[in-house]
Amino acid sequence: MIGSRALENERLDRPDALFLSELARDDPWELMHWAYRVRVKNFANTVRLCSIVPGKLGGCPEDCKWCAQSIHSSAPEAKRPQRTTIDEIHRTAKSAHANHAASMGIVNSGYRPTQHDLDEVVGAIRKITSDNNCEIELCASLGELTDEQARQLAQAGLTRYHHNLETSRAFFREVVTTHGYEQRRAPWVSLRAQPVTMSRTSSKTGPHRPCSRGIDDSRPPPLGRT
């Protein structure tokens, strides 16, 4: 049984992943049961709380079908970008810290940040990290980055960068047409190649690395393959 093997920390293979994907559709409660048991075994009855704050909302020219930030979305607030000020981001971080969040992510709409976007995020990070009464780890999700932008974020105090691959190469064109899978993948690969600037070590939680998630394309053969 896959669940029993997972409890013994055995590595799962592709057929296991395909089976779990099907189980999520056919019997999600069974999957949740085993996920709970694996979580309790590894982390006991605890959770690590993270918070999130938008640095910029809406106004994104990309046509990702799932995203309400795209100008192609029917959401009326998506047409023009709305920005959160540095002071507002700082206040959100203080509130997150007061509510025992271990980390907070600053998330921007858009395929890549402009220099103005980046300056705002860097300014927010510096303000938060200089506040001795707001001890919280900082993450960001800003899209594609140049090496110089990655260095600026790391030097300001960023500890983790999120960049989602979203789905498999075979299914990508079904949900996005304004950029390709390799374009989507490129910044993630670039960040992995920069351990000095984008992979920090925390005395509390260990090494930080870029992470990704995926959208199930509901067609078993290409699931999750990159």
- Where is pLDDT greater, at 140 or 220? 140
DSSP H helix total and E strand total for the chain: 9, 7
At residue 125, does pLDDT exceed 70?
yes
pLDDT digits (tens, 9 = 90+) for 50-70: 899 999 999 999 999 988 898
Average pLDDT over residues 109-135: 95
Rounded CA-CA distance 157/106 in Å is 13
Confidence of residue 194 (pLDDT cuts 50, 70, 90): low
Rounded CA-CA distance 61/63 in Å is 7
pLDDT digits (tens, 9 = 90+) for 153-166: 888 988 888 877 78
Confidence of residue 219 (pLDDT cuts 50, 70, 90): very low
- Where is pLDDT greater, at 177 or 211? 177
Average pLDDT over residues 80-97: 95
pTM: 0.76
CA angle 163, 209, 13 (to 5 degrees): 85
What phi and psi, each to the nearest 5 degrees, are found at residue 35?
-60, -40
**Burial readout 44-74 (b: 16 or more C-beta within 10 A, e: otherwise):** eeeeeeebebbbbbbbbebebeebebbbebe
Tokens linked to 105: 């992510």
> What are the extents of the domains in the chain?
1-47, 50-207
Question: What is residue 209's predicted lDDT score, i.e. its pLDDT?
Answer: 46
Tokens linked to 53: 């704050």
Strand partners, 50: 103
Collapsed DSSP state (helix, strand, coil) of residue 23: helix
- Rg of the Cα trace of the chain? 19
Average pLDDT over residues 137-145: 90
Question: What is residue 212's predicted lDDT score, i.e. its pLDDT?
Answer: 45
CATH of segment(s) 50-207: 3.20.20.70
Confidence of residue 201 (pLDDT cuts 50, 70, 90): very low
What lies within 8 Å, CB to CB, of 221 at 6+ separation is 170
Is 143 in contact with 153 (CB distance < 8 Å)? no
Share of the chain above pLDDT 90, in %: 47
Rounded CA-CA distance 198/208 in Å is 8
- Where is pLDDT greater, at 221 or 32? 32
CA angle 103, 104, 110 (to 5 degrees): 140
